[in-house]
Amino acid sequence: MKAAVYYETGAPEVLRYEDVPDPVASPGTVLIEIAAISIEGGDTLNRAGGEMATSPHIVGYQSAGTIIEVGEGVTDRFVGQRVVATGLWGSHAAMTAAPSVITWVIPEGADLVKCACVPVAFGTAHDCLFEFGHLRSGETVLVQAGAGGVGVAAIQLAKRAGATVISTASSLDRLAPLKALGLDHAVDYSESGWVDVVRGLTDGRGVDLAVDSVGGRILAGSVQCLAYRGRAITVGSAGRDPQPFDISLLSAGNHSITGVFLGAEILNPRTYAMIAELVDDVAAGRLEVIVDRLFPLSEAADAHAYIESRQAVGRVVLVP
């Protein structure tokens, strides 16, 4: 099969489009002919400097397609079924073998490309807001990097739960399309004084919950935006500004900070059911996936470079 592979980590240019051996459906897995690959933030971070479990390595957490073979012991999936799957690596390819327990059925007639983008981004956003963030109706939430996959999901989920939603991005233009999805207030966090802008939008009180996927100085700013006893979530740090967090920032306002990693919860029945419901919501149009751009798999390097240019609003998808 064809795949986007690399032999060493580095810039997007390390990706090559090559022939590699076909995966096989081992016990407990299903073999999927891939139709759409959602490039996740972790994919670009892993390509840039993460662990290489194979050589050549096929990066990628998430893809969707049609099951073409079922491994021994799998009784809840069948050939011809459309699913979206997650995994530790292997999505940037024409086929993948995924454990059946981390596949979700795509409803008949649903947009497969949009459903390919759901589990990691929407599941992460849901856990950040509710399981760990304890968001309640009537509260105010700050969603950092709102134009990214987790951000777009978090804005919609928070608004649906009855929250007031403030979100940031590197330009107000990137946030403009999100007004229709429930965004109440847009803030450019590339401008100095953005913390004061956020606090001003709350009449000085601060936000009840901040969901931060950026880290570094932005995470410190997220804590400064919190109301008394406010909660901050740090998730999937983009790594653009690595620096230690000064925990003493939490004390004066009795603030709390929680790290969230969906992967640690992915085999939990609660999480599986939650993601299944989110896939159904997207399939039915109750939640929206924004697909910024489609790239052929052969142009994976260009797709990764486009993501890292910070121009995209929503997801960038590869098509084999």
For the chain, 320 residues long, give each residue's pLDDT as a single digit of tens.
999 999 999 999 999 999 999 999 999 999 999 999 999 999 999 999 999 999 999 999 999 999 999 999 999 999 999 999 999 999 999 999 999 999 999 999 999 999 999 999 999 999 999 999 999 999 999 999 999 999 999 999 999 999 999 999 999 999 999 999 999 999 999 999 999 999 999 999 999 999 999 999 999 999 999 999 999 999 987 656 677 888 888 999 999 999 999 999 999 999 999 999 999 999 999 999 999 999 999 999 999 999 999 899 999 999 99
Q: Which domain holds residue 192?
A: 121-263
146 & 127 share domain: yes
Residues 104 and 125 in one domain: no
* Residue 28 DSSP label: T
Both 63 and 96 in one domain: the answer is: yes
- The CATH number of whichever domain residue 227 belongs to comes to 3.40.50.720
Distance CA 60, CA 67 (A): 18
**Domain shared by 257 and 297, yes or no:** no
| Domains held by the chain: number | 2
Output the domain CATH number for residue 8: 3.90.180.10
Nearest to 216 by CA among 239, 193, 192, 250: 239
Residues 12 and 113 in one domain: yes
Residue 283 forms part of a structural domain: no
* 140 and 257 part of one domain: yes
Residue 127, in any domain of the structure? yes
State whether 142 and 257 are in the same domain.
yes
Residues 109 and 6 placed together within one structural domain of the fold: yes
If asked whether residues 134 and 104 sit together in one domain, one would say: no
Q: Does any domain span residue 278?
A: no
127 and 256 share a domain?
yes
Q: Please tell me the distance from the alpha carbon of residue 118 to that of residue 232, in angstroms, as a whole number.
A: 23
Distances (CA, A) of 4 to 249, 299, 301: 43, 8, 8
Contacts 24+ apart (CB under 8 A), 272-277: 272/101, 272/102, 272/104, 274/123, 274/126, 274/127, 275/104, 275/118, 275/119, 275/122, 275/123, 276/104, 276/105
The H helix count followed by the E strand count for the chain is 9, 15
Based on the domain organization, do 113 and 125 belong to the same domain? no
